[in-house]
Amino acid sequence: MSLPTTHVSFPAGAVTGASPILAVHTLPDGRTAVVTEATPFHPVDHTWPDQPADLGTLTVDGAAHPVVDCLTGGHGPAGEFAAGADIPVRRGDEEWSWLVLHVLPAGVLGPEAVGRTAELAVDAERRALLSAAHTGCHLLALALNAALAPRWRKDPGRADAFGNPDFDSLAMDTSVMDTEASTDTYRIGKSLKKKGFTVDATEELPALADALPALTADVNARLAAWVAADAAVRIDVPGPELTARRRWHADLPDGAAEIPCGGTHLHHLGELVELRTELTLSADGTELIARTSPKRA
């Protein structure tokens, strides 16, 4: 019998909930994975692990157990169970159920817990820090796209919500959030240059390396204006399923912006007092790194 895809409430900002336990599995490393019908926990995405997993507690019959990790799991049509990188099919495969796995220390719960109600509580402070970093990451993308727009000598064929060439998605290599900042690494190689991105100096522009101080100032000015405007932020959710295609939405002074996203976020930018980025270029000029740090109110 296939398990139903987990319903999640973290897109709306929930950090607590109660739900029946549907399954208890032992992971290859010996730890215990608990599947509930619904959950406020955000699991790390096995295909794009930018935002770390929520941590917290899972309480059954008055006994609180630490949730030490939270993974994406899959349950196949033949009863196969897989977690994280071991899932053998593409995310969202309709023949599979997609699960939030609350990872507990080894042996703390067994199959006898199936059918009981679990009280679920996310570490709310840690969630808030990660949400601030993730919101900052998306704002950085839009501000960086705008600042770099003059460096495109032709249309690369992809634009962001404001019509600027989407450097963020075209050049993105890795994106990682932690409780202090988001770090985005962009690959500046032959492919990006063929699409029209200019690195070297021209009559109108300095070389990218020489332009970094001005670019950083430009990006930070945009971020400061958006924070000052206390723009509203939300996640547009087509359904409660873990695999629903959610979109981040912000009503910025420049207009409404949307970015596909499966993470957690602030509700409005007034939850920050500052958002600043630091741009650095690798010695060989092939990587641009943006470390964006939010300061919460």
CA distance 250 to 234: 7
7-122 and 126-296 agree in CATH topology:
no
Backbone angles phi, psi at 214, to 5 degrees: -70, -40
* Residues 16-58 pLDDT 10s: 999 999 999 999 999 999 999 999 999 999 999 999 999 999 9
Identify residue 287 by its one-letter amino acid code: E
CA distance 178 to 132: 10
Please determine, for residue 109, whether its predicted confidence score (pLDDT) is greater than 80: yes
Q: How confident is the model at residue 2 (pLDDT cuts 50, 70, 90)?
A: confident
Strands 32-36 and 38-39 turn out to be: unpaired
Q: What is the mean pLDDT of residues 232-259?
A: 96
pLDDT of residue 156: 98
Give me the residue spans of the domains in the chain: 7-122, 126-296
pLDDT of residue 52: 98
Please report, rounded to a whole number, the percentage of residues in the chain having pLDDT higher than 70.
Answer: 100
Identify residue 248 by its one-letter amino acid code: W
pLDDT of residue 125: 98
Please determine, for residue 282, whether its predicted confidence score (pLDDT) is greater than 80: yes
Which CATH number does the domain 7-122 belong to among 3.40.250.10, 3.10.350.10, 2.40.30.130, 3.40.50.720?
A: 2.40.30.130
> What CATH class has 126-296?
alpha beta
Q: Which residues pair with 56 in a beta bridge?
A: 67, 122
Q: What is the mean pLDDT of residues 175-198?
A: 98
Closest CA to 169 of 144, 152, 205: 144
pTM of the model: 0.96
* Residues 147-179 pLDDT 10s: 999 999 999 999 999 999 999 999 999 999 999
| Mean per-residue pLDDT over the chain, rounded | 97
Please determine, for residue 1, whether its predicted confidence score (pLDDT) is greater than 90: no
